[in-house]
Amino acid sequence: MRLLQPVTGNTSQGPRRRALTDEIPIPTVPLLELACGNSASCGVTYENEYLCWEGPFLDFFPVEPELVHGLSMDSTAVAALRLEDDHPTFWGGIPAWLAWEAPDRPVEMIALERRIETDDACVIYKDGGLHCWGGSAEEGQVPPEGMYQFVTIAHSTACAIRDDGSPVCWIPDPDGHIDQLPLFNEPLVTLALGVRHGCALTASGHIRCWGKGKGGRLGVPAPPSEVP
């Protein structure tokens, strides 16, 4: 792996960072957060400093070195919250317009997804309000009004967890596997979305998965009649 380090000189998009010429192991610094994209990984240290390794598309970083938290990463883009004011900040291959339309106010959580047909991002404000922007929002695919505690966007689907622990999805899954949520008998704490399945963690610590079960994705054998 190659650790990206700062180099001198600014560009219109901020200071460039380049990969060291020598191949070195992934960082051994203790990390507080970790996120992965298509061909790179980024982390946040316990001092709230960010670092990324691999991925030549991560050439451009914030104009000034920032302390961050709330790391989110997808494809070639990275988002986080500035430690000083909890405002969103972006680097990597993020479309300029997506960054420009980010809310200029403190937020609790941020999520984003880059894909061929469009780009999407969502934030949860400090008061629990959920705001999304990007291609899907322009097409009218927005979350229901309410108060939220968690949001994620992945594999062309967006889902969130309300303050009462109930889940909701509002960007239809093209294959119809993920956004068809099952009934949960207890509040959810977090959830993760795969290509054709999703899994949720309940308040009691149990895992519940749904969607396409081929290959044991749901933790149970797939029905013999299931077609890939």
Q: What is the pLDDT of residues 42-59, one digit of tens each?
A: 889 999 988 887 665 555
- pLDDT score at 160: 95
Q: Please report which confidence band the pLDDT of residue 224 belongs to, taking 50, 70 and 90 as the band edges.
A: very low
With contact defined as beta carbons under 8 Å apart, do 146 and 166 qualify? no
- pLDDT score at 193: 87
* Cα→Cα distances 74→21, 25, 54, 119, Å: 25, 22, 14, 10
Q: Which residue has the higher pLDDT, 13 or 9?
A: 13
Six token digits for residue 6: 């700062």
Residue 10's DSSP bridge partners are 15
Distance between CA atoms of residues 189 and 217, nearest Å: 20
Distance between CA atoms of residues 165 and 191, nearest Å: 11
Yes or no: is domain 114-228 CATH 3.40.50.300? Answer: no
- pLDDT score at 214: 60
- Model pTM? 0.78
- pLDDT score at 127: 96
What's the start-to-end Cα distance of the chain, in Å?
Answer: 35
Residues making up the chain, counted from first to last: 228
Whether the predicted pLDDT of 198 surpasses 70: yes
Q: Where are the domains of the chain?
A: 1-94, 114-228
**pLDDT, average across residues 159-181:** 82
- pLDDT score at 8: 32
Q: What is the pLDDT of residues 75-88, one digit of tens each?
A: 778 899 999 999 99
Q: Please report which confidence band the pLDDT of residue 225 belongs to, taking 50, 70 and 90 as the band edges.
A: very low
Whether the predicted pLDDT of 217 surpasses 70: no
- pLDDT score at 107: 97
